Amino acid sequence: MSRAEIRLTGFGGQGIILSGYIIGKAAAIHDKKQATFTQSYGPESRGGACSAQVIISDEPVSYPHLIDPSILVVMSQEAYNKYAPTLRDGGLLIVDEDLVETGDLAGDVRLLSVPATRLAEELGRKIVANIVMLGFLAAVTDVVSVEAMREAVRTSVPKGTEELNLRAFGKGYEYARAAD
């Protein structure tokens, strides 16, 4: 991998920004790659659109904003409608299958779906759906190592929630592996 441009999208309260932070931390600190992280939200604190952008590269990143996104992770319909057209031809689209209907996709896009929110609910906490999604992402891509992502999750979530979040990560990872 020389360069990956990743956009994570959903609505406020889903942990989208934390997910971007975790991916960037996994890449930069634990995998010793170059990474940038930017974020944007709607004016609402919860329920409004939000997006996290991460660029991971083997070379220094001179411009921190996405130019040609190769991976799009979507956790809301509104986010899909807004950002799906920005995914590069041949890119990877990962959606929460219970929250997003994709319809016809333009171009040569690889679509993977995961019931992230439902898997999180099985753990008793819907709020860890973003971490389930990170486990899935780690299993289906090589943008960061699984070990780096797991360690970044462990050291980035609120104290006292580490075990739950690591179980959520494992649930997403195993779901992807079982689907192979």
Q: What is the pLDDT of residues 124-163, one digit of tens each?
A: 999 999 999 999 999 999 999 999 999 999 999 999 999 9
Residue 172, pLDDT > 90, answer yes
Mean pLDDT of the residues in the chain: 92
Q: CA dihedral defined by 83, 92, 97, 26, rounded to 10 degrees?
A: -90
Residue type, 152: A
User: CA triplet 90, 96, 35: central angle to 5 degrees?
Assistant: 55
Q: Determine the longest span between alpha carbons in the chain, in angstroms.
A: 44
Q: Which residue has the higher pLDDT, 47 or 93?
A: 93
| CATH number, domain with residue 132 | 3.40.920.10
- Determine the structural domain holding residue 132 and report its residue range: 3-179
What are 3-39's pLDDT values in tens digits? 999 999 998 889 999 999 999 999 999 999 999 999 9
pLDDT of 43 over the 70 cut? no
Average pLDDT over residues 171-178: 96
Please tell me which residue, 170 or 50, carries the higher pLDDT value: 170
Q: Please compute, for residue 165, the number of CA atoms within 13 A of its CA located in the half-sphere on the CB side.
A: 22
pLDDT band at 45 (very low <50, low <70, confident <90, very high): low
- How high is the pLDDT of residue 1? 53
Average pLDDT over every residue of 34-58: 84
Domains identified in the chain, total number = 1
Q: Is 13 left (phi over 0), alpha (psi -120 to 50) or beta?
A: left
Dist. CA 132–CA 29, nearest whole Å: 21
pLDDT for position 64? 87
Whether 110 has a pLDDT exceeding 90, the answer reads: yes
